[in-house]
Amino acid sequence: MKAAVSLFAPMIGLAFGLVACGPSTRDGTGDDDDTTTPDGADPMPTPKQCNKMDIVFVVDDSGSMAEEQQNLATNFPMFANLLANYTTTDGQHIDFRVGLTTTGRTITTTVNLGPGFPPLTTTENGDNGAFKNNCNVNKRWLDATDPNMATALGCRANVGTNGPGEEMPLMMTKWALSERMTDNTNAGFLREDALLAIVMLTDEDDSSTTMDNIQIGPTGTYPMDFNPPDLVSFLDTLKGHRSRWAAAAIAGDGDCSSGFGMAADGKRIKQFVQMANSNGTTQAVFSSICAGDLTIGLKEALDTFQAACGGIIL
């Protein structure tokens, strides 16, 4: 998917609608201050403002994403500055942090072309859900208070185009928040009292699999055993409640094309979004990468996070 666009001007409009976490109701656990009803009934939670977000970007680093990444790298500093300068209605700055990983995992595949042809075995190396720690910042995520946060985020968004050809945004989201937490790679990123916000950006559908040494026949059939319901269930369990996380996907809406290139239909990614919204809320949003202007998808992502933040239960 090719997108030669400028995101700068539309980003200005985000300053007014960005992550406006309105008063939200906590469930009375943790450090929240509760009040008791006059008749001695269960304590009533104290209304508070949502002002914390843990944001995870999962960006396609395969060969077709050069223009999208270039534009993200160019415009993410503006995106970061808007977040850093935004305040809630009670004057609090948004306490946000951003981790960025890619859609690729290390995997070995063997393609069997049929009688008379030798099998073709390749190994591709991916980030496996590890947050980037490059760009002159020696930690795995960027905080709102980092003095070089905007520059570093723009740098990290340019993940390159040498990643594995099988994009796995669903499973790499899970690995970033589970496997890479367990082995301490991304440990410390998640905060219990923050909304978890996920943004997936790819021009291919998801092909998540836990298998390795995969045998692929002449038809190119690829086994997938990590499915959209698995990620929804994982995130519900991780955060303890559907209201504590939100997601946005910017991918192909049908086999689509624009003046900037083509994208494959993100069927499995759309299924994930639909399942995330299955309990009557709008915890996730899908935007077409074929719209050309990536700001459209980013704006819809932030609007979704804003609404989720307003209804969060912590």
113 falls within a domain: no
pLDDT of residue 20: 41
pLDDT of residue 260: 60
Which residues are bridge partners to 97 per DSSP? 54, 143
Q: Which domain holds residue 138?
A: 51-103+129-206+225-310
Q: Which two tokens stand for residue 162?
A: 């040498």
68 vs 231: CA distance, rounded Å:
25
Please report, for the domain that includes residue 249, its CATH number: 3.40.50.410
pTM equals 0.82
109 falls within a domain: no
Positions in the chain whose pLDDT score sits under 50: 1-37, 47
18 falls within a domain: no
pLDDT of residue 37: 46
Structural domains counted in the chain: 1
Phi/psi for 138 (5° steps) reads -90, 20
200 falls within a domain: yes
pLDDT of residue 285: 94
Q: Which of 295, 287, 79 is nearest to 200 (CA)?
A: 287
154 falls within a domain: yes
The distance between the two most distant Cα atoms of the chain, rounded to a whole number of Å, is 83
Alpha-helix runs per DSSP H in the chain: 8-12, 14-17, 66-85, 149-157, 169-177, 179-182, 228-239, 267-276, 294-310
What torsion do the CA atoms of 246, 249, 250, 254 make, to the nearest 10 degrees?
Answer: -140
144 falls within a domain: yes
255 falls within a domain: yes
pLDDT of residue 293: 67
216 falls within a domain: no
Reduce the DSSP state of residue 141 to 3 states and report it.
Answer: coil
